[in-house]
């Protein structure tokens, strides 16, 4: 029975749709071309977790532990940035300001209403998420470098508002808070307990990132990252997903900001300005935004490199610049991609794409 | 038998010498946290310079006699890289890993406050030369169980410094201007220190009868001409380049070129720097130091101090005199330890510091801590003769007895 023109057109459209979906599947599968075996992933996770848990017991000293805490809460913020940049392809150079929203929300709730760490945390995270979404609204119309400029402007404006916020924001002098409210039997004034608190938050961030990465939602984000038009054409609500991931990123940033606040117990606008934001962007690119451990690796490099090599701030910036150039030229997927490639080379395979995905590295 | 006696005598002598050496080797660990790199390096290096000089002098003089032991100061100097996270890590290391008894530093309010949250619970004394600490040093904070009980502000309260400076500037300039100055513009960096300092200085000038306008510039500004042009339109009698000195050295030549005002005041620019840079103005210019000038001090003790300070290799810079916010307190602390007779009783040392005084280099009047752990001393102001770079006339006006109207003193 001959097909009518209408049914032929339908069949043609269906074929086109199938092709588009296949193409999208190929695009989003690129980084997972050489997934590490499940056993390797599990061993890596267990070893890393064991190392991080054992760190306070290794006798490395309080200085080391202090820098480790800084590294961990920075990494939590980076996981948010990693999601929006690594998974959805939306870069920001104002992420420190988003952490600042969380930190200042918590500090203001503490100063004005007497709310402690645990009670202010959900509000601070929620506010960061909302602000993340609001800043993300322009991504519906602009992208790439234009959005980057918008985030930079937000960061500058945020610092100006804080600096001129009077007693409400503590102006340029900033705000002070007390210790983390103790849990039964756990006093967070003890540095190792503070470390474990931040570590627990990091594990949550890691788990959330992993679950997002392997979920349908993660695949949708990657589809948007690889080809927004194509993703839209197969019925993905791109706008909603973009705002969604920016809000999730805001949640992570809020958590990191509150942890930073209660670690320093004093915050001021300079902590959330342009330089800290650029450093966050640098860290996530160095480590590898698309990899599960990339943000953590980036945070470790930037926080510990000056300690290990005894670099002053000027030398550090030069070193970071050189590292970034090397990573862009040699390891587009970041240091995590390099580590994975070394493993694959040793194990007989080689991921030339340099972009292992979602917990596969 | 005789040989045995000789042997025993020698052994006893050897033991006595060993004990003597061991007693002489007692160390008093003291921490210094300062920016030896990064954007605050010019201030940070002065803390290290002062600490090295003071420790060397105390040790060379035989150390600190506490009870029946003599202690030599052992400095543990840590570079905070102008980074609050590194400051915190350094404070943790000094307090918990090394076990210092006191910490000197650091150069900025934010870092000092965060450090105090580590030193306080550990009962480690902290001497910080930030006048902005006045905003947090109150009755509750310095109480026995307060978080700043072990923190001392080694710079005068800001209303005192502002009052002393304003009086000095106006007394020197009034004689040089055709008519007494009435309108001042305070030009200041819009950051934590700038905001805090200018809030007091404006009140101090108003208390001296000045009409004051405040103009703030963003930190890291390099082209000041738009703001200076605006200030020129205000027709001020004096433009006060308030905090900070480094920015002032960039802004002042631009102001001279634009002819902004008939007289100027440059805060934190030492006469020595003015001379070294061959700055010259055809109008009267006053300068103030933090707290006394190395380039032109009327006090012989200050001159001797800076000879020794620079003799140890410290660089001559706009903020070299900041070192004097830290130097005297080593001797005062040593004196308090000797009086208490124990190095492990920080509460007694705090009490002793609060009830004692110390005649140091920074001030001809003995230093005393008030109930909020703050000292009082005057600020030196110098005036440069017009069209010269090296002709200075200096004055030291004592701080006012009370904060001016509208200044809550905090």
CATH number at residue A94: 1.10.3470
The nearest alpha carbon in chain A to B91 belongs to A63
In a domain, B113, yes or no: yes
**Do residues B389 and B247 both lie within one domain?**
yes
Phi and psi at B373, nearest 5°, equal 65, 35
Residue with tokens 């004055």, as numbered in its chain: B395
Taking 3-state DSSP, the helix, strand and coil percentages for chain A, each rounded to the nearest 5, stand at 75, 0, 20
**Count of CA atoms in the C-beta half-sphere (13 A) of A200:** 7
Q: Do B92 and A268 touch (CB under 8 A)?
A: no
Distance CA A132, CA A249 (A): 7
Cα–Cα distance list, A134 to A50, A129, A138, B5, B356 (Å): 39, 9, 8, 92, 58
* Length reported for chain B: 410
Q: How many domains does chain B have?
A: 2
> What mean pLDDT is reported for chain A?
87
Residue A201 placed within a domain: yes
What single-letter DSSP state applies at residue B406? T
Q: Are residues B148 and B175 in the same domain?
A: no
A90-112 pLDDT per residue, tens: 999 999 999 999 999 999 999 99
Residue whose entry in the numeric block shows the structure tokens 């070299």:
B320
Contact B135 A270 (CB under 8 A): no
Q: Is the pLDDT of residue B317 over 90?
A: no
Task: List helix spans (H) across A227-312.
Answer: 228-233, 238-264, 274-287, 294-309
* Per-residue model confidence as pLDDT tens digits over B72-87: 999 999 999 889 999 9
- pLDDT band at A64, cuts 50/70/90? very high
Examine residue B172 and state whether it is found in any structural domain, yes or no. Answer: yes
Is B408 within the bounds of a domain?
no
Q: In angstroms, what separates the C-alpha of B314 from chain A's closest C-alpha?
A: 19
Which pLDDT belongs to residue A103?
Answer: 97
> Are A279 and A273 within 8 A, CB to CB?
no
| Cβ atoms B164, B365 nearer than 8 A | no
* Bridge-based pairing state of the strands B264-267 and B125-128: unpaired
Classified as helix, coil or strand, B78 is: strand
**pLDDT attached to residue A30:** 41
| pLDDT number for residue A262 | 96
Are B12 and B76 in the same domain?
A: yes
Asked if residue A361 has pLDDT above 60, the reply is no
Is B404 part of a structural domain of the chain? Answer: no
Pair B228, B251: CB distance under 8 Å:
yes
Average pLDDT, chain B: 90
What was the pLDDT predicted at A138? 85
CATH (domain of B206): 3.40.50.2300
Nearest to B335 by CA among B377, B367, B305, B304: B367
Among A341-345, B315-319, B337-341, which range has the highest average pLDDT?
B337-341
Which residue in B115, B114, B109, B107 sits closest to B134, CA to CA? B109
Residue B227 in contact with residue B192, Cβ under 8 Å? no
**pLDDT on residue A357:** 42
Which candidate from B38, B110, B194 shows the least CB-CB separation from A268?
B110
- Predicted local distance difference test score (pLDDT) of residue B11: 59
Query: Is residue B19 pLDDT above 80, yes or no?
Result: no
Count Cα neighbours of B376 within 13 Å in the Cβ-side half-sphere: 20
pLDDT mean over B145-153: 96
Q: Looking at residues A37-62, what average pLDDT do you find?
A: 92
pLDDT at A33: 45
Is B288 found in the same domain as B349? no
pLDDT greater at residue B379 or residue B239: B239
pLDDT tens-digit map of A270-309: 899 888 999 999 999 999 999 999 999 999 999 998 888 8
Is A69 within 8 Å of A196 (Cβ atoms)?
Answer: no
Rounded Cα–Cα distance for residues B321 and B302 (Å): 10
Residues B25 and B98 in one domain: yes
Residue B244's domain comprises 158-297+378-397
User: Could B121 and A66 be called an inter-chain contact, meaning their C-beta atoms sit closer than 8 Å?
Assistant: no
Least confident among A7-11, A308-312, B123-127: A7-11
What pLDDT, on a 0 to 100 scale, did the predictor assign at position A331?
86
Residues B309 and B267 in one domain: no
Same-domain status, B253 and B390: yes
Looking up tokens 């300079």 gives A270
Between CA B285 and CA B260 the distance in angstroms is 13
If you write DSSP's letter for every residue of A186-247 in order, what string do you get?
B-TTSHHHHHHHHHHHHHHHHHHHHHHHHSHHHHHHHHHHH-HHHHHHTT--HHHHHHHHHH
pLDDT band at residue B9 using 50, 70 and 90 as cut-offs: low
Helices of type H across B217-369: 225-233, 245-258, 271-276, 300-311, 327-340, 346-355
Q: Is residue B127 part of a domain?
A: yes
Q: Is B14 exposed, middle or buried (0-12, 13-18, 19+ CB in 10 A)?
A: exposed
- What's the total number of domains in chain A? 1
Could you give the angle at the alpha carbon of B377 between the alpha carbons of B371 and B383, nearest 5°?
A: 155
Q: Taking 70 as the threshold, does the pLDDT of residue A26 lie above it? A: no
Q: Does any domain span residue A269? A: yes
Q: Is the dihedral of CA A272, A275, A278, A283 positive or negative?
A: negative
A164-190: average pLDDT: 90
Band of pLDDT at residue B7, cut at 50, 70 and 90:
low
Residue A39: helix, strand or coil by DSSP?
Answer: helix
Give the mean pLDDT of A242-256: 96
Rounded Cα gap, residues B255 and B261, in angstroms: 8
CA distance B239 to B226: 15
Name the nearest CA neighbour of B329 among B105, B136, B118, B116.
Answer: B105
Residue of B nearest to A313 (CA): B38
Buried-state track A223-261, b at ≥16 Cβ within 10 A, e below 16: bbbbbbebbeeeebebeebbbbbbbbbbbbbbbbbbbbb
Does the CB of A87 have a partner CB in chain B at under 8 Å?
no
Is residue B402 in a domain?
no
| Minimum mean pLDDT range among A74-78, A176-180, A260-264, B188-192 | B188-192
CA atoms of B70 and B53, how far apart (whole Å):
19
In a domain, A76, yes or no: yes
CB contact (8 A) between residue B110 and residue A303: no
Same domain, B203 and B149: no
Question: Do B192 and B70 lie in a common domain?
Answer: no
Give residue B3's pLDDT band: very low, low, confident or very high (50, 70, 90): low
Confidence band for B108, pLDDT divided at 50, 70 and 90 = confident
Handedness of CA A249, A255, A260, A261 (dihedral sign): positive
* Inter-chain residue contact A313 with B38, CB threshold 8 Å: yes
Tokens of B52: 């090295």
Instruction: Flag the least confident range among A239-243, A303-307, B368-372.
Output: A303-307
Residue window 287-306, chain A: list those with CB within 8 Å of chain B. 303, 306
Q: Which residue has the tokens 């770079």?
A: B389
Instruction: For residues B123 and B142, state if they share a domain.
Output: yes
Give exposure, A128-162, as e/b (b: 16+ Cβ within 10 Å). bbebbbebbeebeeeeeeebbebbbebbbebbeeb
Helix (H) or strand (E) holding A111: helix A95-113
Query: Which has the higher per-residue pLDDT, A313 or B332?
Result: B332
Contact B93 A171 (CB under 8 A): no
Domain assignment of residue A122, given as a range: 18-347
Query: Which of B86, B116, B133 to substitute to test the interface with A, most A CBs within 10 Å?
Result: B86
In a domain, B1, yes or no: no
Chain A residues lying within 8 Å of B36, measured CB to CB:
312
Whole-number Å distance between alpha carbons of B126 and B31: 9
Q: Is the ipTM of this complex over 0.95?
A: no
Contacts of A198 in chain B (CB under 8 A): none
Is residue B22 domain-shared with residue B113, that is, in the same domain? yes
Q: How confident is the model at residue A1 (pLDDT cuts 50, 70, 90)?
A: very low
**Mean pLDDT computed over B266-288:** 92
Residue B58 pLDDT grade (very low, low, confident, very high; cuts 50, 70, 90): very high
| Interface contact flag, B93 A66, Cβ < 8 Å | yes
Return d(Cα B337, Cα B327) in angstroms, integer: 16
Percent of all residues in chain B with a pLDDT value above 70, rounded to a whole number: 94
Which pair of structure tokens corresponds to residue A35?
Answer: 């997934």
> pLDDT at position B274, please?
92
Does the distance separating the beta carbons of A70 and B121 come in below 8 Å?
Answer: no
Where residue B255 falls among pLDDT bands split at 50, 70, 90? Answer: very high
Q: Is the pLDDT of residue A28 over 90?
A: no
Q: What is the structure's pLDDT at B131?
A: 82
pLDDT of A328 reads 85
Asked if B387 and B307 sit in the same domain, the reply is no
Q: Residue A9: what pLDDT?
A: 58
């Amino acid at each position: 029975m001959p097909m009518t023109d209408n049914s032929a057109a339908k069949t043609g459209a269906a074929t086109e749709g199938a092709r588009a979906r296949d193409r999208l599947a190929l695009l989003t599968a690129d980084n997972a071309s050489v997934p590490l075996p499940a056993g390797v992933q599990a061993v890596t996770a267990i070893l890393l977790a064991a190392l991080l848990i054992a760190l306070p017991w290794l006798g490395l000293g309080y200085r080391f532990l202090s820098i480790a805490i800084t590294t961990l809460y920075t990494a939590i913020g980076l996981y948010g940035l990693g999601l929006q940049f690594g998974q959805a392809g939306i870069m920001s150079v104002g992420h420190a300001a988003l952490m600042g929203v969380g930190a200042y929300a918590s500090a203001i709730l503490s100063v004005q209403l007497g709310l402690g760490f645990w009670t202010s945390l959900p509000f601070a995270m929620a506010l960061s998420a909302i602000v993340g979404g609001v800043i993300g609204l322009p991504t519906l119309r602009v992208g790439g470098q234009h959005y980057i400029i918008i985030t930079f402007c937000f960061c500058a404006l945020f610092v100006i508002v804080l600096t001129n916020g009077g007693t409400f924001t503590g102006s340029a002098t900033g705000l002070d808070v007390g210790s983390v409210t103790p849990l039964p039997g756990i006093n967070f004034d003890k540095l190792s307990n503070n470390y474990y608190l931040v570590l627990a938050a990091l594990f949550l961030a890691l788990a959330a990132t992993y679950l997002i990465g392997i979920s349908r939602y993660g695949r949708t984000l990657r589809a948007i990252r690889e080809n927004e038009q194509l993703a839209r054409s197969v019925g993905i609500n791109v706008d909603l997903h973009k705002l969604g991931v920016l809000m999730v990123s805001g949640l992570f940033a809020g958590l990191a900001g509150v942890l930073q606040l209660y670690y320093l117990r004093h915050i001021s606008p300079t902590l959330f300005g342009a330089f800290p934001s650029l450093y966050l962007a640098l860290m996530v690119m160095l480590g590898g935004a698309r990899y599960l451990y990339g943000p953590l690796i980036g945070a470790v490099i930037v926080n510990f490199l000056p300690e290990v090599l005894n670099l002053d701030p000027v030398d550090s910036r030069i070193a970071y610049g050189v590292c970034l150039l090397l990573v862009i030229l040699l390891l587009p997927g970041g240091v995590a991609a390099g580590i994975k490639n070394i493993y694959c080379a040793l194990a007989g395979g080689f991921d030339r794409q340099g972009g292992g995905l979602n917990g596969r590295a | 038998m005789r040989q045995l006696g000789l042997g025993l005598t020698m052994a006893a002598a050897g033991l006595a010498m060993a004990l003597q050496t061991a007693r002489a080797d007692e160390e008093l660990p003291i921490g210094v946290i300062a920016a030896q790199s990064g954007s605050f390096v010019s201030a940070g290096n002065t803390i290290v310079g002062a600490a090295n000089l003071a420790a060397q002098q105390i040790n060379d003089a035989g150390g600190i006699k506490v009870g029946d032991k003599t202690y030599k100061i052992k400095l543990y100097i840590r570079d905070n890289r102008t980074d609050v996270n590194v400051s915190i890590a350094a404070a943790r290391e000094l307090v918990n890993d090394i076990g210092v008894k006191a910490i000197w530093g650091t150069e900025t309010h934010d870092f000092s406050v965060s450090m105090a949250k580590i030193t306080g619970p550990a009962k480690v004394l902290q001497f910080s030369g930030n006048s902005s600490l006045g905003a947090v040093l109150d009755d509750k904070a310095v109480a026995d169980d307060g978080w700043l009980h072990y923190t001392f502000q080694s710079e005068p309260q800001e209303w005192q410094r502002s009052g002393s400076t304003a009086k000095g500037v106006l007394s020197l300039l009034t004689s040089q201007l055709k008519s007494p100055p009435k309108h001042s513009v305070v030009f200041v960096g819009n950051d934590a220190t700038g905001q805090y300092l200018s809030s007091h200085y404006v009140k101090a000038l108003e208390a001296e009868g000045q009409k004051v306008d405040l103009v703030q510039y963003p930190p890291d500004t390099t082209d000041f001409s738009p703001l200076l042009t605006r200030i020129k339109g205000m027709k001020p009698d004096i433009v006060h380049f308030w905090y900070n000195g480094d920015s002032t050295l960039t802004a002042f030549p631009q102001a001279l070129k634009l002819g902004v005002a008939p007289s100027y005041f440059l805060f934190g620019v030492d006469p020595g720097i003015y001379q070294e840079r061959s700055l010259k103005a055809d109008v009267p210019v006053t300068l103030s130091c933090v707290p006394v000038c190395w380039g032109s001090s009327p006090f012989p003790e200050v001159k001797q101090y800076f000879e020794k300070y620079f003799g140890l290799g410290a660089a001559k810079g706009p903020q070299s005199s900041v070192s004097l916010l830290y130097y005297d307190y080593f001797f005062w602390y040593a004196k308090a330890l000797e009086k208490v007779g124990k190095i492990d009783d920080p509460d007694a040392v705090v009490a002793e510091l609060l009830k004692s005084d110390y005649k140091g280099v920074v001030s001809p009047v003995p230093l005393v801590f008030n109930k909020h752990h703050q000292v009082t001393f005057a600020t030196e102001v110098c005036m440069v003769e017009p069209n010269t770079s090296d002709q200075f006339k200096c004055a030291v006006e004592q701080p006012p007895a009370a904060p001016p109207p509208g200044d809550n003193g905090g």
